[in-house]
Structure 1
């Protein structure tokens, strides 16, 4: 198995996906955006929730992963590419994961099945089926607020013990006690990453290894530096930065993700704020809040 996870730590960007005026993926803008993330030192997470994967066709899903892998491989930094490949249909998740493996990703991020509401036994069987079909690292993604289900720490523990390629967990439950239990129950090389920017400080202080971040779409260098402070055990300095960034962390979810992040990207001249239905753009009041938040961080925004 190809289980090199030495770079599965630090700040990863849950990449937003640029759309053109027709709502199609904009290849050139996406490539430029990825290069900016790589220069900042971020790992790459294409086709996640923040990337609007739920509204991508299979062909678009494949294209996004290919573009991301190509940019990563041609760079000097060679960042870890952790591609979203989850589904509530186990066969589809296997198919997406196999394709991602063929494209050369370093690992796959697999959301717990949504809508179906499987039991813990069903969740175990879902991940076991995928792990048996691919030879690259798998990161279990737990986000009950999106899926309506919650994979328990004991289930994560069993999967990590029974399948060598189930090597990580993206923690987006907001339940710090549960996240701490995952850290306690899994082996030392198992990687727990924060899935909430606002909880990254607490999760890393408990033994987490980094964050899959929405904020890093807008402030990649700063998120890399923030995580590095904690990696270096500079907790006092990290707490100061944590406090300074709380408004951004909060306001990126003032409406449904990724609409606030994409509006922020637009006023930073990175891409259009267009999102795909059923999501819509921000209300004027939310735009005002996002603009003020970015101005308070001394970012250079356009004045339109």
Structure 2
């Protein structure tokens, strides 16, 4: 699916984060930058006169190349560059003075020309990431999305299992809220899901039964919330009958995989019962998952040591 963004929108959205200054070609603000949702994003790169990128980055080395050309070759190169239908805008980096002929070309062909003191590599990476989020496949899941010990954790469960109360307890313990009730996830790379609130201005609010709507940012400070995070773990709260509890693996726990937007995310089922400290259990689940990612499995280690002791007895 093809999507697009105008140069005017690009400037409005990233004028601060990329320190953009619009110096010429203001009449070309309606030019479109085309995006595709199959990871073939808007092509952004350093000067390419033969096949111009939609967003051309020009720095000291590109200017040195142009200066080394003869007057006629430079004119032909710039003519071919600015006449291209693919070129949407140009960003000059690491330069305090822009040659007059470049601004003249930008005004003549209505090609927006920006300057920035940020490095070209940073601009390229920033825009690729931003565009990837714009076109990524999306899904909304019911739950509370949090940053727990630096890991993006989605707390799920049926109504009444205590998701919001658990989230509030975690915030009070220094963890951060990202989105309550209906976080939105987007696949920004083949195996990466990024989660955030569909309404960024609402991400500080948490609904807790008996207390109503709470603003955790106002209650606990700016460090209590976070804009977004990669989804790495799902913790599913579940009321379990005694019979169901007997079926849970005593060594490995209730550990499965859930497919979200064609990405497999580990999911842990935590039994909900009176007296269980869910905040401590969830923190421990996150720490244990981090160990598994790094290659350590406590259950396997336990079995290995047990077998070793049995062999010694023999």
Higher relative CO (Cα under 8 Å, sequence separation at least 6) belongs to: 1
| Structure 1 or 2: more strand by fraction | 2
Per the normalisation by structure 1, the TM-score is 0.28
